[in-house]
């Protein structure tokens, strides 16, 4: 294995430059860490076509479910510190959650999308997503669709408040504060990893644009009968929602705003040391990359294996989260590799160029 990754960096750079030149993408970031070392850090295109602002390595992109890794990683750091436990009953710290016989739901159930409350009211609005207390009341008052732990289904939005409110009740700290203090700050990534984005960074973000993603979401909703229960029409993950300043400011722990460099660094620090920082032990890494839920996903029908906080992808060789519209991030523990790609042109049916970039990097390493 070489220690010189110049050729790979050039190959990735040429690829994303070509995507932007062809009009397939507007702005792209790609980053990869191998054994704690940054081996790819490539950017191309514009963060905001309206202003002509170019993408920089530290430009944050609102990346939908790719941001779930921020929340789950914060939980694992707390667990490593002995401040929270996966077997914690949500109702022990959040008594209101016990309604409708949900008292046996554990944090592990929440992390693994097996809690049984993936649904939101059909009338949910973006404004409601920004109201933490309201969303927690809504979820606490929901009747479970299955007994916790007996099946799994993607809790697209509700996952964030299930995990985030449990952390807040158990530790007295918001999940965004835990992320900042226990993850982003040690990794020197405080200005690149966000749940709620501070006002002084809002104008620095990449702006999302819809290519054909809204149409794709409409097709998905027609094809999967439960999709609108998970992501009601008013809060479907699209460019309009992801550009709203109130959404960007709010703590919504099922989504996040990240640079590819920073979220790849986060995954790298789960696997080993990055500039002297390791977030969790090797034993915990093994625990959180073990598949705990499998079978058909209630929301999407297809198999959707999950661990404690991450999707198990590519036959459980990569662990992480893709974001609706095209971003992705994850780690390959067998190879010490972490990869992340962000983009602002949301689309589908284009051969998934970000996944192709991840494949390119993985192939170069193995």
3-state secondary structure of 74: helix
Assign 2 a pLDDT band (cuts: 50, 70, 90).
low
CA dist 236 → 218, 248, 257, 325, 349 (Å): 9, 15, 17, 11, 18
Residue 286 has a CB neighbour count (10 Å cut-off) of 11
Extents of the domains making up the chain: 61-339
Question: What is the per-residue pLDDT across 7-51, written as a single tens digit (0 to 9) for each?
Answer: 999 999 999 999 999 999 999 999 999 999 999 999 999 999 999
- The model's confidence at residue 124, banded by pLDDT at 50, 70 and 90, is very high
> Cα Rg for the chain, rounded, in angstroms?
19
CA distance 145 to 109: 13
Distance CA 148, CA 15 (A): 44
- Average pLDDT for residues 232-254, to the nearest whole number? 97
Q: pLDDT value at position 1?
A: 45
**Beta-sheet pairing, 318-322 with 328-332:** antiparallel
Per-residue pLDDT at 3 exceeds 80: no
Q: What is the DSSP letter of 22?
A: T
Dist. CA 131–CA 3, nearest whole Å: 48
How far separated are the first and last CA of the chain, in Å rounded? 8
The CATH homologous superfamily for domain 61-339 is DD-peptidase/beta-lactamase superfamily (3.40.710.10)
- What is the tens place of the pLDDT at every residue in 65-111? 999 999 999 999 999 999 999 999 999 999 999 999 999 999 999 99
Mean pLDDT score across all residues of the chain = 96
Q: What's the mean pLDDT in 234-256?
A: 97
pLDDT digits (tens, 9 = 90+) for 285-303: 999 999 999 889 999 888 8
């Amino acid at each position: 294995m070489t220690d010189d990754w110049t050729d790979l960096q050039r190959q990735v750079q040429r690829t994303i430059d070509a995507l932007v030149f062809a009009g397939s993408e507007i702005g792209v970031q790609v980053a990869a860490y191998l054994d704690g070392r940054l081996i790819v850090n490539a950017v191309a295109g514009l963060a905001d076509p309206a202003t002509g602002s170019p993408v920089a390595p530290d430009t944050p992109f609102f990346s939908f479910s790719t941001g779930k890794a921020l929340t789950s990683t914060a939980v694992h750091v707390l667990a490593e510190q002995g401040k929270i436990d996966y077997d914690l009953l949500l109702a022990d710290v959040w008594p209101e959650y016990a309604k409708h016989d949900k008292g046996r739901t554990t944090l592990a159930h929440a992390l693994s999308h097996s809690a049984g409350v993936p649904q939101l009211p059909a009338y949910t609005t973006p404004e409601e997503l920004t109201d933490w207390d309201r969303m927690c009341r809504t979820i606490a008052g929901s009747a479970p669709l299955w007994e916790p732990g007996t099946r799994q289904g993607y809790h697209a939005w509700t996952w964030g408040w299930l995990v985030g409110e449990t952390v807040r009740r158990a530790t007295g700290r918001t999940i965004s504060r835990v992320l900042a203090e226990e993850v982003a700050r040690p990794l020197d990534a405080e200005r690149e990893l966000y749940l709620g984005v501070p006002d002084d960074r809002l104008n620095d973000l990449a702006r999302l644009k819809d290519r054909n993603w809204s149409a794709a979401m409409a097709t998905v909703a027609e094809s999967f009968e439960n999709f609108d229960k998970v992501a009601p029409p008013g809060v479907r993950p699209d460019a309009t929602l992801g550009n709203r300043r109130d959404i960007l400011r709010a703590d919504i722990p099922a989504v996040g705003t990240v640079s590819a460099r920073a979220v790849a660094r986060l995954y790298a620090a789960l696997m080993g040391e990055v500039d002297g920082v390791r977030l969790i032990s090797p034993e915990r890494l093994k625990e959180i990359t073990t598949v705990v839920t499998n079978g058909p996903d209630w929301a999407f029908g297809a198999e959707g294996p999950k661990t404690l906080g991450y999707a198990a992808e590519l036959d459980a060789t990569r662990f992480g989260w893709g974001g609706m519209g095209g971003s992705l991030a994850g780690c390959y523990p067998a190879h010490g590799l972490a990869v992340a790609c962000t983009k602002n042109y949301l689309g589908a049916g284009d051969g998934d160029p970000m996944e192709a970039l991840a494949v390119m990097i993985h192939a170069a390493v193995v």
